[in-house]
Chains A and B, each alone.
Chain A
Amino acid sequence: MRRWIWLSVVAALAIAYPLLLSSPFQQRLGALVLLYAIAASAWNIVGGYAGQVSVGHVVFFGCGAYAAMGSYAKFGLSPLIGIPGGIVLAVGLAAIIGVPTLRLSGHYFSMATIAVAETMRLIVTNTEWLGAAVGLSGPTVPRNVFDLSFLSSLPYYYLFLAVLAITLAITWWMTNSRMGFYLRAIKDSERAARSLGAPASRTKLYAFMLSAALTSVAGALYAMMFGFVDPESGLGILISVKILIMAALGGAGLLFGPLVGAAILVPLEEISNSWLGGKGAGLTFVVYGAIIVLIARFQPGGLLSLFIRRGKPKTDTGAGHAP
C-alpha cells in the first residue's frame, strides 16, 4: 500500500514539474533527465537484472537515432516511421553480439559490446550515405505534428515521460514474470540455475534484446529532440558511459535506480557545462570516472540500495528464488 502512495506522489510530481518550473532551461533539463532515464532503464534490464555489463550500449542508441533521422533525410518520411526499423536493427545486432558472448564469462560480453560499438562508429563515419562525419539532420521546419519537431521542450517532456512509464512498466512486468525469476536465479549462481533447468544463455539473450530495443527507442527520441545525429552524438562511447554510470549510481537492478541516477547526473552535467563552457568536457568525464570507481569500490548496489537495505526486512537473500 505504501508503495502505491509513494508511486503516485512521484508520478504527480513528474507530471507537474514542467508547469511549476516553467523556464525553458528547466523544461529542457527535465526532458533530458527523462530521456537519459529511459536509456539507463533500458540498460538496467541487461546490466542490472541480467548482470551482463554492456559498455557499448550506444550502438543500439545509434540504431534508433540513425533510423529516425534516416527515414526523414533519405525517404522524406516522418522520423516516427524509423522507430520500428531502428528496433529491428538493434535487436538483430544484439543477437549477433549476444549469441556467442553470453555463453562465456561476462568479460567477453563487455569487450564485445565495445568492439561492436567502435566498429559501427568507424563504419558510419566512413559511409557517405549516412552523412559520414557530418551526420543526418531531421526536419528544420516541421511539416506536421508527426515530424515531432517542436521549439519548446514541453511536448518532448510529456512524450519522454510516457515512454519512460512504458519502459518501467515493461521492466516491472519482466521482473515478475518467469523471465525475471530466471534472471535472479542466474545472477545468484548461474551454475545452480542451469542445473535446475533455467535456460541461462537464452534468458540473458532475451533480456539483452529487450534492452537493445528500448535503447533504440531512446536513441530515436534523442535524435528527434536535437534534430540531428552524428557519429559522436549517436555512436560515441561516451554516451554508453553516461547511460551506464546513471544506472550504476542510482542502483543497477533496481526499478527506479536509473531514474535516480539520471536525476542526479544530468543536472550536474548541464550546470557544469554552462559554468565551465567547453573546457569542462574533459573534467566532467574525470569526475564520472571517479564516481564509477567509488561506486564499484564502496557501494556496488548504487545509492538506492542504501535505503532499501534499511527499509526492508532481509527476505531478499536470493536463496529462495530458484524457479
Chain B
Amino acid sequence: MSFVLVQVIVGGLLLGAVYALFSSGLTLVWGMMNIVNFAHGDFVMLGMYVAYVVYTLMGGGPILGAPLATLVLATLGVVVYFALIRDIMKGPMLAQILGTFGLALLLRYSVFWWFGANFLSMPQDIVGGTYAFAGLRIEASRLLAGIVALLVTLGLHLLLTRTSLGSKMLAVAEDQTAAQLMGIRPDTMQAIAWAIAAGATGLAGALIANFFYIVPTVGETLGIVAFVTVSLGGFGSVPGALVAGLLIGVIESLSGYLIGAIYKDIVVYVLFLFFLWFRPQGLMGKM
C-alpha cells in the first residue's frame, strides 16, 4: 500500500463527491416525476462554461463563478420544465426520451458553435496552490470541490427529508391528486425540483471547471456517469447517489491509475452493464 495509491483514492473520493452532487439532481427528478433528463450531463457542461466565462470576462474565481453558475442553471431548469418537460411528461416514452435527448444536442452544439471544439482550461492556481498533509499532495481546487459538493449533497438530503418543502415534494411524488387536495401545487413543486436539480449541476460544473478539461462534449461522459451513479444508488435516493458517486469516483481513479487513463471510462461503462445484468435495483435500492 503505497502513498501513491492512497493519493489516488483520496483524489477519487473528492471527484466522487462532485459526481454525487450532480447525480442527486438527476435522481431527484427521476424519483419525483419518473422522467430521465438525458441533458443532465450537458447541464454540468453549461455550468463549466458559465464559470469559464465569469473568469475570462471578470477575472472572478469560483467564489463568484459557482453561485452565478448555480443561479443560471437553476433558471434554465425552471424554463426547461415549463417549456418542455411539463408537456412531454404526459406523452409517450418516445417523446420523453427524444425531448431531453434533443435538448442535450441543442445545448451541446450551441456551445460547440459558439466556443469551438477546443479544450479550454482555467489557470491552475485560481483557487490556491497544492497542500501537503502527511505525504499526500492535494490541489486546493479539488479539495474545495470535494468538500463543497459533499456538504451541498448532505444539505440536499436534509432539505428533502427534514423540511416542509421536502415533505411537499415527496407528497407530489407519491400522489399528485392527493397532494393537490392538500393544497400543494404539483406544478410549483416540480418546477422547484427542476430548479434544484439543474442548480446542483451548475454548482458541480463550476466546481470541476477549475481542474477539469472544458469541452462541449464533456456532457456526454458526465451524463453517463450520472446515470450509472443513479442506477447504482437506486433511483430517487440522494444518500444512494452519494455512496455510489464516491464509489464511482474511486473506481474511476483506481482504474485510471492501475490500467491506464484511456480505460477509466470503459471500466465505468462496463460496470454499469454488469449491474444491469445482475442487480438492476442498485446497491441499496428497491425496484
Residues of A within 8 A of B (CB): 47-48, 51, 53, 55, 96-97, 99-101, 103-104, 106-108, 110-112, 114-116, 118-119, 122-123, 126, 237, 241, 244, 248, 252, 282-286, 288-297, 300
B151 at the interface (CB under 8 A from A): no
From B62-70, B189-197, B264-272, the one touching the partner chain is B264-272
Which A residues lie within 8 Å of B103 (CB)?
289, 293
Question: A244 CA to B38 CA in the complex, in Å?
Answer: 15
- Whether A107 contacts B106 by the Cβ 8 Å rule is no
Which B residues lie within 8 Å of A47 (CB)?
94
* 27 A-B pairs whose Cβ atoms sit less than 8 Å apart in the complex: A53-B93, A55-B101, A99-B277, A104-B280, A107-B97, A110-B101, A111-B36, A111-B38, A111-B224, A111-B272, A112-B273, A115-B227, A118-B269, A119-B266, A119-B270, A126-B263, A283-B109, A284-B109, A292-B98, A293-B99, A293-B102, A293-B106, A295-B102, A296-B95, A296-B98, A300-B92, A300-B94
**Complex partner residue of B105 from A101, A122, A248, A292, CB under 8 angstroms:** A292
Question: A99 CA to B94 CA in the complex, in Å?
Answer: 20
Which B residues lie within 8 Å of A99 (CB)?
277
Query: With A289-B106, A300-B91 in contact, is A108–B99 under 8 Å at CB?
Result: no
Question: A286 CA to B104 CA in the complex, in Å?
Answer: 10
Count of chain B residues near A, Cβ 8 A: 45
- Whether A296 contacts B273 by the Cβ 8 Å rule is no
Expressed in whole angstroms, the minimum distance between the Cβ of A305 and any Cβ of chain B is 12
Expressed in whole angstroms, the minimum distance between the Cβ of B27 and any Cβ of chain A is 12
B133 at the interface (CB under 8 A from A): no
Which A residues lie within 8 Å of B277 (CB)?
99-100
- Whether A115 contacts B269 by the Cβ 8 Å rule is yes
- Whether A123 contacts B106 by the Cβ 8 Å rule is no
Among residues of A, the one whose C-beta sits closest to the C-beta of B107 is A289
Which B residues lie within 8 Å of A237 (CB)?
220
Which B residues from 73 to 93 make CB contacts under 8 A with A? 84, 87-88, 91-93
Which A residues lie within 8 Å of B108 (CB)?
285, 289
Which A residues lie within 8 Å of B213 (CB)?
none
Expressed in whole angstroms, the minimum distance between the Cβ of B234 and any Cβ of chain A is 13
Which A residues lie within 8 Å of B224 (CB)?
111, 114-115, 118
Question: A237 CA to B108 CA in the complex, in Å?
Answer: 13
Residues of B within 8 A of A (CB): 30, 36, 38, 84, 87-88, 91-99, 101-110, 112-113, 117, 220-221, 224, 227-228, 231, 262-263, 265-266, 269-270, 272-273, 276-277, 280
Among residues of A, the one whose C-beta sits closest to the C-beta of B93 is A106
Which A residues lie within 8 Å of B109 (CB)?
282-286, 288-289
List the 9 closest pairs (A to B, CB-CB), nearest first. A292-B102, A289-B105, A289-B106, A296-B99, A282-B113, A285-B109, A300-B95, A293-B102, A296-B98
Known: A110-B101, A296-B99. 11 other contacts (CB 8 A): A51-B92, A100-B280, A110-B97, A282-B109, A284-B109, A292-B98, A292-B99, A292-B105, A293-B103, A297-B84, A300-B91
Which B residues lie within 8 Å of A97 (CB)?
273
Question: A278 CA to B273 CA in the complex, in Å?
Answer: 36
Among residues of B, the one whose C-beta sits closest to the C-beta of A53 is B97
Which A residues lie within 8 Å of B107 (CB)?
289
Which A residues lie within 8 Å of B101 (CB)?
53, 55, 110, 244, 292
Which A residues lie within 8 Å of B221 (CB)?
118
Q: Dominant SS at the A interface?
A: helix
Question: A226 CA to B91 CA in the complex, in Å?
Answer: 39
**Complex partner residue of A290 from B106, B265, B273, B276, CB under 8 angstroms:** B106
- Whether B220 contacts A118 by the Cβ 8 Å rule is yes
Question: A47 CA to B97 CA in the complex, in Å?
Answer: 11
Among residues of A, the one whose C-beta sits closest to the C-beta of B35 is A107
Which B residues lie within 8 Å of A123 (CB)?
266
Expressed in whole angstroms, the minimum distance between the Cβ of B82 and any Cβ of chain A is 12
Expressed in whole angstroms, the minimum distance between the Cβ of A141 and any Cβ of chain B is 35
Question: A288 CA to B104 CA in the complex, in Å?
Answer: 11
Question: A106 CA to B101 CA in the complex, in Å?
Answer: 14
Which B residues lie within 8 Å of A252 (CB)?
94
Which B residues lie within 8 Å of A114 (CB)?
220, 224
Query: With A106-B93, A119-B269, A296-B88 in contact, is A286–B220 under 8 Å at CB?
Result: no
Among residues of B, the one whose C-beta sits closest to the C-beta of A290 is B106
Among residues of A, the one whose C-beta sits closest to the C-beta of B112 is A282
- Whether B266 contacts A297 by the Cβ 8 Å rule is no
- Whether A122 contacts B266 by the Cβ 8 Å rule is yes
- Whether A51 contacts B93 by the Cβ 8 Å rule is yes
Question: A295 CA to B105 CA in the complex, in Å?
Answer: 14
Question: A292 CA to B270 CA in the complex, in Å?
Answer: 29
- Whether A115 contacts B112 by the Cβ 8 Å rule is no
Among residues of A, the one whose C-beta sits closest to the C-beta of B264 is A122
**Complex partner residue of B97 from A104, A106, A284, CB under 8 angstroms:** A106
Question: A79 CA to B97 CA in the complex, in Å?
Answer: 36
Question: A193 CA to B48 CA in the complex, in Å?
Answer: 46
Expressed in whole angstroms, the minimum distance between the Cβ of B197 and any Cβ of chain A is 16
- Whether B262 contacts A104 by the Cβ 8 Å rule is no
Question: A176 CA to B105 CA in the complex, in Å?
Answer: 35
Expressed in whole angstroms, the minimum distance between the Cβ of A111 and any Cβ of chain B is 5
Query: With A108-B280, A119-B270 in contact, is A286–B113 under 8 Å at CB?
Result: yes
Which B residues lie within 8 Å of A244 (CB)?
98, 101
Expressed in whole angstroms, the minimum distance between the Cβ of B90 and any Cβ of chain A is 11
